[in-house]
Amino acid sequence: EDPSAIRAVAFHPRGEVFAVGSNSQILKICSMPRQRYQDSHLELLGTGVLDVCVKLPKVHKGSIYSTAWNDDGSMLATCSNDKLIKLFDYSSTTMNVTGPSLELTHHNAPVRDVAFLTNYGSACVLANAGADCIVYTNDCEVDAMLHKLSGHSEQVLSLYAWGSGMLVSTSQDKSVRTWDLRTSRCVSVLGFSDASDQSPSVAASVCVDTRGRYMAVGRTDNMISIYDFNAGKIIKTYQAHNNEVRSVRFNPVCPSVLLSGSYDGTAYVTDIEALFLSGLHLLNIPYHKDKVIQCRWHPSGRFFATTSADQTCVLWTAYT
């Protein structure tokens, strides 16, 4: 729990700890509770107060919007509406962070999202974007800006990196842009029509599965769209929520399983390939008393976390 809304959560790549950031400007590193087994499909993981390994107050002068670990888990990034990005060094041996070792100050407006690139040279290349409409990448090992990508006309809401230098961004300008960082080019632009009146709909969240085949887009008109890169088109749009879908993530082990979180206070777990055939969802999780802001899978694919405006971060075990 936290005194304010909890916005951000990110699991360490080894799964031993997770980072939590909130509107109270506090960054916490919590250890995973001891796993409990029971014959059910879903349960709360652990009870009571989680073991907080690190608690850093006033990390930012504003809300912590997003957190991200790099691939080897040695670095943690945070961003905020104070226009700053901060980088912390993490030791798995001591389960402690030091720093910030670096502050990135190139944004002139709130920074909405950060995402480390995978399989792209240095292990510390960070994509970052926000209300100044520009997508940047920075090599945090040498403090060097690598890319400055223009194209969005309103604030960038979310980022997702995958493959070798592929990045996708969503914006208040109602577009989803896919970037190939090897050529510094935007290779595609998608838009979505509002489900109710066919006006353009804002894409609030985005992710790509581990195979690089499907892209999921959570929208402000309560819908989720699935884009097939092989087919080059949207192959499914469905409604699981009754309010804006502000977070989507594919399972890292079962790439067709999608976790979504919404301002309606619920999270859904959906097998999208089964959805194509039957239209059925797997799990509806109406637990939170206020908006769900983020949801993230544990790297094992067996657990996930949800954060909420109700000032809680909840861990779940999903059994299949």
pLDDT score of 3? 78
pLDDT digits (tens, 9 = 90+) for 180-202: 999 999 999 999 876 666 677 89
For the beta carbon of residue 131, count every other beta carbon within 10 angstroms: 18
What local confidence, expressed as pLDDT, does residue 121 receive? 76
Confirm if 78 and 86 have CB atoms less than 8 A apart: yes
Give residue 70's identity as a one-letter amino acid code. Answer: N
Q: Is the dihedral of CA 231, 206, 10, 35 positive or negative?
A: negative
Give the pLDDT score at 235: 93
Weakly modelled stretches of the chain, pLDDT under 70: 1, 34-49, 194-198, 278-283, 319-320
Tokens at residue 17, please?
């700890």
- Predicted confidence at residue 38, as pLDDT, reads 42
Contact 138, 148 (CB under 8 A): no
Q: Which pLDDT belongs to residue 86? A: 97
| 272 phi, psi to nearest 5 deg | -70, -30
- The CATH class of the 1-105 domain is mainly beta
The residues spanned by each domain of the chain are 1-105
